[in-house]
A and B are shown apart, each in its own frame.
Chain A
Amino acid sequence: MTDTLPEDALPEEALPEHALLEIEDLSKSFGGVRAVQHCTFSVGAGQVVGLIGPNGAGKSTVVDLVSGFGLPDSGSIRFAGQQVAGERPDVIARMGLIRTFQTPREWRNLTVMDNVLLARCQFSRESLWRSLTQAGRIRRLEEVDRVAASEILERFQLDALAGERAGMLSGGQKRLLEFARIAAAEPQLIILDEPMGGVNPVLGARIGDAVGQFAADGRAVIVVEHNLPFIERTCHQVVVMDLGEVIAQGPFAGLRENPRVLDAYLGMDQSHE
């Protein structure tokens, strides 16, 4: 059963006027293991939602199901008004949902610039026929894209590394590249799977700023994270999961007093206080 906090407790900006993502009664089992059970929550445009819970709570499974990397057993996932449960990940990505993974997955033997250009998702230019017949036109369009990509790289202080292979970057720079790729993709919904993993505090602050900027641009963001101070600082709403179920949702401050949340998760880490 889900403990939902009274809505008057939520900050005004946290209320999704029109939910961009609506997850309803989502379930998924792996053999006898019920990874996700009757999961329901929604995310609105411009909202940052934290998805927290102990290891094995089902957070990453939810992310996989929403982004098309898994097939739900039952339930509904509506993104931008369309049912996407069971769709291929590339189809969902083309609709405007971009996700990251727990470890940065850069295209390591491509340059930093090419990583960003690929993220801009100009699919029509990747036609085999057009590549052969309209090479000059594509090259001119690429030049325009390159300027935009350079500005994004500059914003994330990666511009000096544009020509380097992405695999040569440090761990922190790979995280920044991940955010540069998201910025280039201009998605409606961003799912960040543990963006603070292995990140130093200074870089963490910049990642927090980037998340805030995405929301300020009107994008919805879901953050799966164990770093609770980060969640508290960046998220309008928090969804807490345990043993595959959503056990509570609401603003972070309200969850501190929720006994189920304290028992399942928050009690395990009070270091931020």
Chain B
Amino acid sequence: MYWVSVVTEAGVFAILALGLDMVWGWCGDFDLAFYGYLALGSYMTFVLSIGKPTAPVRYIIGWHLPVPLSIVIADLTVVCLAAVIGAIALRNLREIYFAVTTLGAVYALYLIVENYTPLFDGFNGVYGLVNPGQAALRLTYNGYRIVFLGVVFVLLFATYLLVQRLSRSPFGRMLRSVREDERAASAYGRAVFWAKYRAYLVGAALAGLAGGLFAIFISAFNPSAWTPQELLVIYAAILVGGRGNPRGVIVGVFVVYIGFIELTRFLPSPASRPEFGPAFRQILIGLMIILMLRFRPEGIFRERPGAGATARSGIRRLRPTRPLGAELAAGPGRPASEPTPAADEGSTR
């Protein structure tokens, strides 16, 4: 069951990464609050579905809703939080200022959750969401975990289809124009803040969904499960897979989580130096990421210019019949509206 668990976790993080990629890959905003959205999604799923707390445990709400409904409500809560953080951070802040603001927001959330125990029982966290629905489905523990893996993959696939559709749409192209050059985008009529804000809320919704699934996966949740540094691994996965390419993002998460993080657990350690294996594992992970960035910075799957819509409609990639910069030979004074004979040869008609 170890590998079922590993692949399930990677599937959940792939949904999170697809959301993060909309913010960073498509819009160019390096957001450090995103793991907080996953955490809030998890916490809210717990408190909406595990029932009233018994002393000395304390947490808010304490309802007994069906888990799928809990995840939906938890997700809406996450979107509300993202609406507030996004409204502050996206309006005028860019690059490092945006990153620091979102980092501040997630640390504030972290400290509140850790110290204000009536919220989610402080550092003890919440627990009790153990294989919801297992009895009704008459499954064994292992059978349940396999079915849950299937559910995660179905949701991952659905998320991929949704994100891919957006990526290939004029909406995805518009977001990338904002990423490439905000001034030019606004000079051509794009409301930059509103464009980024919409993508941010969709990305946060995916993080909230991942949080709800993570709650079922992990069965218990406390502040030690979501240090903001965890997000850097997700960023590494997006980089490795291909920033801005949904397929690449999913592949990147599986490569990093399974290839870099899990497989390296099996590195042998000499009996005299048992700490060698884990230490070397950390070095190897860092080295692999550095090599990846050095030799293939665009990732395994490069973002496709034209965001797929171009490829789908069959842009004709013609070999220029005239050398690039052929205007030098075209002669002065030729009206731009009159294509040269050479240009006619190279036309797409």
Most chain A CB atoms below 10 A, which of B198, B331, B335 = B335
**Assuming the A-B contacts A118-B174, A132-B166, A138-B170, are A159 and B198 also in contact, with contact meaning beta carbons closer than 8 angstroms in the complex?**
no
B279 on the A face (CB < 8 A): no
- From 303 to 349 in chain B, residues with beta carbon under 8 angstroms from any chain A beta carbon are 303, 305-307, 309-310, 312-313, 315-322, 324-328, 330-337, 339-340, 343, 346-349
Q: Which residue of B lies closest to A120 (CB)?
A: B188
B315 and A154 contact, CB distance less than 8 A: no
| Complex Cα gap A181–B189 (Å) | 13
Q: Which residue of A lies closest to B312 (CB)?
A: A139
**Assuming the A-B contacts A109-B305, A118-B174, A185-B188, are A101 and B183 also in contact, with contact meaning beta carbons closer than 8 angstroms in the complex?**
yes
B305 and A110 contact, CB distance less than 8 A: yes
Total inter-chain residue pairs, C-beta < 8 Å: 190
Chain A residue contacts of B327, Cβ below 8 A: 157, 172, 176, 202-203, 206
| Complex Cα gap A127–B195 (Å) | 10
User: Size of chain B's interface in residues, with CB distance under 8 A?
Assistant: 62
Chain B residue contacts of A113, Cβ below 8 A: 306, 310, 315
B52 on the A face (CB < 8 A): no
- From 175 to 232 in chain B, residues with beta carbon under 8 angstroms from any chain A beta carbon are 176-177, 180-181, 183-192, 195, 198, 202
B276 on the A face (CB < 8 A): no
User: Size of chain A's interface in residues, with CB distance under 8 A?
Assistant: 67
| Complex Cα gap A119–B312 (Å) | 20
**Assuming the A-B contacts A126-B174, A213-B336, are A170 and B343 also in contact, with contact meaning beta carbons closer than 8 angstroms in the complex?**
no
Proximity string of chain A (69-86) to chain B, C-beta cutoff 8 Å, 1 when within and 0 when not: 100000000000000000
A89 and B186 contact, CB distance less than 8 A: yes
- CB-contact partner of A107 in B176, B330, B332, B335, under 8 A: B176
Chain B residue contacts of A156, Cβ below 8 A: 336
A125 and B170 contact, CB distance less than 8 A: yes
Binds B, one of A5-13, A161-169, A235-243, A255-263: A161-169
Q: What 6 A-B pairs have minimum CB-CB distances, sorted nearest first?
A: A131-B169, A105-B184, A93-B189, A107-B180, A160-B320, A131-B171
Given A155-B337, A202-B328, 16 more contacts at CB 8 Å?
A: A90-B186, A107-B180, A110-B173, A110-B306, A113-B310, A117-B173, A127-B171, A131-B172, A139-B313, A154-B348, A162-B315, A163-B315, A163-B317, A165-B305, A201-B332, A205-B332
